[in-house]
Amino acid sequence: MNPDQSQQPPSLPAFFARYQYRIDAALRAELSGFPESDRPGTGPGPGIYDIHRYYMGWQEIDGTHTNSTGGKRMRPTLAMLAADAVGGDLDRATPIAVALEYVHNFSLIHDDLEDMDRVRHHRPTVWAVWGQPAAIVSGNAMLKIADAAAWKLRSAGVEEYVALEAESVLTGHYLKMMEGQYLDIFFETEESVTVEQYLDMIERKTGALFEASMYLGGLVAPRSGPDRQKANALKAIGHEFGRIFQIRDDVLGVWGGVATGKPVGADIKRKKKALPAVHALSASTGASAKRLKEIFRTEGDLHEEDVHVVLEVMEQLGTHDYCQSMAEQRWVAGKRMIESLDLSGSAAAEFIELGEFLLVRES
End-to-end CA distance of the chain: 17
pLDDT at residue number 23: 97
Name the phi and psi angles at 283, rounded to 5.
Answer: -95, -20
Name the 3-class secondary structure at 11. coil
Cα angle: 160, vertex 162, 164; to 5 degrees: 70
> Count of domains in the chain?
1
Nearest to 351 by CA among 249, 213, 200, 162: 213
Reported as a single tens digit per residue, the pLDDT across 136-158 is: 999 999 999 999 999 999 999 99
Which pLDDT band, with edges at 50, 70 and 90, does 266 fall under? confident
Inside any domain, residue 222? yes
CATH number for 310:
1.10.600.10
Strand partners, 257: 262
Task: Please check whether residue 42 lies inside any domain of the structure.
Answer: yes
- 331: phi then psi, degrees, rounded to nearest 5: -70, -35
1 is a domain residue: no
The answer to whether residue 79 is domain-embedded is yes
Average confidence (pLDDT) over 212-233: 97
Structural domain span for residue 351: 15-360
Residues forming a β-bridge with 40:
none
Average pLDDT of 309-333?
97
Question: Residue 41's pLDDT is what?
Answer: 45
What pLDDT was estimated at residue 88? 97
Please report whether residue 10 resides in a domain: no
Say if residue 13's pLDDT is above 80: yes
How deeply is 345 buried, as exposed, middle or buried, from its count of CB atoms within 10 A (0-12, 13-18, 19+)? exposed
- pLDDT band (50, 70, 90) for residue 248: very high
**DSSP string of 338-360, one letter each residue:** HHHS--STTHHHHHHHHHHHHHH
Residue 1's pLDDT band, with cuts at 50, 70 and 90, is: very low
Task: Report which residue type is found at 156.
Answer: A
Does residue 184 lie within any of the structural domains?
yes
Please check whether residue 4 lies inside any domain of the structure.
Answer: no
Of 156, 165, 148, 331, nearest to 232 by C-alpha is 165
Q: Tell which residue, 96, 273, 291, 283, has the closest CA to residue 190.
A: 273
Compute the Cα dihedral for 261, 264, 270, 275 and give only its sign. positive
Query: If you compute the radius of gyration of the chain from its CA atoms, what whole number of angstroms results?
Result: 21
Identify the CA nearest to 101 among candidates 141, 130, 67, 72.
Answer: 72
C-alpha to C-alpha distance for 279 and 349, rounded to whole angstroms: 33
User: Percent of the chain scored above 70 by pLDDT?
Assistant: 93
Condensed to tens digits (0 to 9), the pLDDT of residues 56-97 reads: 999 999 989 987 766 899 999 999 999 999 999 999 999 999
- What's the whole-number average pLDDT of the chain? 92
Instruction: Give Cα 12 distance to the centre of its chain.
Output: 15
Let me know if residue 7 belongs to a domain: no
| Whether 177 contacts 209, CB under 8 Å | yes
CB 351 within 8 A of CB 326: no
How many whole angstroms separate alpha carbon 300 and alpha carbon 33?
43
Give the span between the Cα atoms of 346 and 339, in whole angstroms.
12
